[in-house]
Structure 1
Amino acid sequence: MRSGSRMTAIGLVLHPTKPVDRSIDTILEGARGHPVRVLAREHDRHRVPAQVQPVPDSTFVGEVDIVIALGGDGTMLGAMRLMIERPVPVLGVNYGDLGFLVEVTPEGLPAALERLTRGEFTLEQHGCLEVNSAGVDPASRFGFNDVVLRQGDGKGTVSVDLTVDDLRYGYYRGDAVVISTPTGSTAYNYAAGGPVLSPSSDAIVITPVAPMSGISRPVVLGVRDEVRFTTANDGMPIAVDIDGTSAGELVQGQWLTAVMRQDAAQVVRLSASEHAQRSRVRLSLLDLPLRPDQLLELIPPDLRRNAEAALSRNTRAADRSS
């Protein structure tokens, strides 16, 4: 759905446990008087009112024009994976804590629906890692954040060989290996010492966790590169997590490939600049090196004056005591 297009079906993807009734009522109120159906997935039948039509996933994917994900980033990622074969705009309503993908609060949903109706939004394209391996569940093979190879029992080390576009690059031996998209680069990859990639970059990054030998630093690769990891013949079984969820296991001699699938999802952005500002605030919580004056830029303008005054007082007091 782009500006000027007609919306005929809204799909709801719900957080598995959190109550989101208020937002469902808001969406139904916004749809009232318009030829728009509101659909939910069959397994959420018991959580939606009678005005919402529960349908099988195949019908949901085939008929919705837009998806509204009611939850946090995890719910948003689930909606994006669900629609991967037919990417339609996905709007996230935040019922979580920190969120890099979700943009709208439950309180801001009525205004957001008005802007959707008027076509006042942009679409942010997201790629994902597509994983193939005999040891990975086919239903879990798409990762919008990352793919992690780790020891299944939490003991020992991960030992895998790396091949990029059929060229052998070396091997990893350590606690884990993280393969990350730009979207996921602020998660486990960052915690492991990997670089934060710009959301607009066409790249993936491979970061070893606590390396013991072999490749010991992050490697940034192009978006068209195919990476292959092969388990060592003398290694222990390796667990595979995709977007934080267990997806399978690799045993001795098995391999796993990961390629970037571009334009795999469309995320609704009502205000790209406001979203970027909020993301900077969240990144500051990851201890990025910002000076006090740079942190002030993250504070809303109506609160900035008081913060600037407090910073000035603290600076003068520090100067007097030094």
Structure 2
Amino acid sequence: MLEVKKVWLFPSSRRKEALSVAERGLRFLSREGVAAEIVGEIPTPQSPPDLVITIGGDGTLLRAARALYPQEIPILPVLLGAVGFLSSCRAEELEDALHQVTQGRGLLDRRMRLLGQGPGLSATALNEFALVGTAQS
């Protein structure tokens, strides 16, 4: 069971409605007694949150996951738009999802992180790597 006392809301800077959805989540969490703040960038946490909520699409989720690595902080991705392969919650479902989480009924779905290494480079990914070759003469 996930006990949530501190939450960061990370809205996409590319979607104008993301900030208003984040503010809605902030109000809900405040009413539930959860310390929450909206962050424009994922800082290196001195005191890490129990949960990060991304609001946007898969790119927003991937940016947050990259910034949080190597810490294992749960992320709740909230989808704005039509297609999100990695998101489990739509913006209109945010309050219901937060209610489940604050009542201790949120489900954690552990995901493996991929590690790719090559000559002089190393990178991590959540869902896939794209390998692009270079033309040789």
Matched, 1:67 2:55: no
Aligned-pair distance for 1:12? Answer: 1.8
C-alpha distance in structure 2 between counterparts of 1:17 and 1:135, whole Å: 32
Q: Which residue of 2 aligns with 1:39?
A: 37
Scaled by the length of structure 1, the TM-score of the pair is 0.38
Of 114, 118, 130 in structure 2, the residue corresponding to residue 148 of structure 1 is 130
Give unpaired runs (5+ residues) of structure 1. Answer: 46-55, 157-234, 237-322
Q: CA–CA distance in 2 between the matches of 1:57 and 1:95?
A: 23
Equivalences, count: 136
Q: Which residue matches 1:25? A: 23
Give the gaps of 5 or more residues in structure 2: none
- The answer to whether residue 76 in structure 2 is matched with residue 94 in structure 1 is no
Q: CA deviation at 1:34?
A: 4.5
Task: Give the corresponding residue for 1:230.
Answer: none
Q: Which residue of 2 aligns with 1:10?
A: 7
Q: Percent identity?
A: 24
The one-letter code sitting in structure 2 at the alignment partner of 1:117 is T
Alpha-carbon separation, structure 2, partners of 1:18 and 1:135: 35
Structure 2 equivalent of residue 58 of structure 1: 44
1:211-238 CA-partner distances (Å, limit 9, x unpaired): xxxxxxxxxxxxxxxxxxxxxxxx46xx
RMSD (Å) for aligned C-alpha atoms = 2.4
Which structure exhibits the higher relative contact order, with contacts defined as CA atoms closer than 8 Å and separated by 6 or more residues?
2
Q: Name the larger-Rg structure.
A: 1
**Corresponding residue of 1:175:** none
The C-alpha deviation readout for 1:82-136, integer Å capped at 9, x for no partner, is: 2232212211110133112111111111111111111222111111211234543
The answer for the alignment partner of 2:100 in structure 1 is 115
3-state DSSP of counterpart to 1:122:
coil
Which structure has more strand as a fraction of its residues? 1
1:78 alignment partner in structure 2: 63
The one-letter amino acid paired with 2:30 is: R
Distance 1:37 1:122, change over 3 A: same
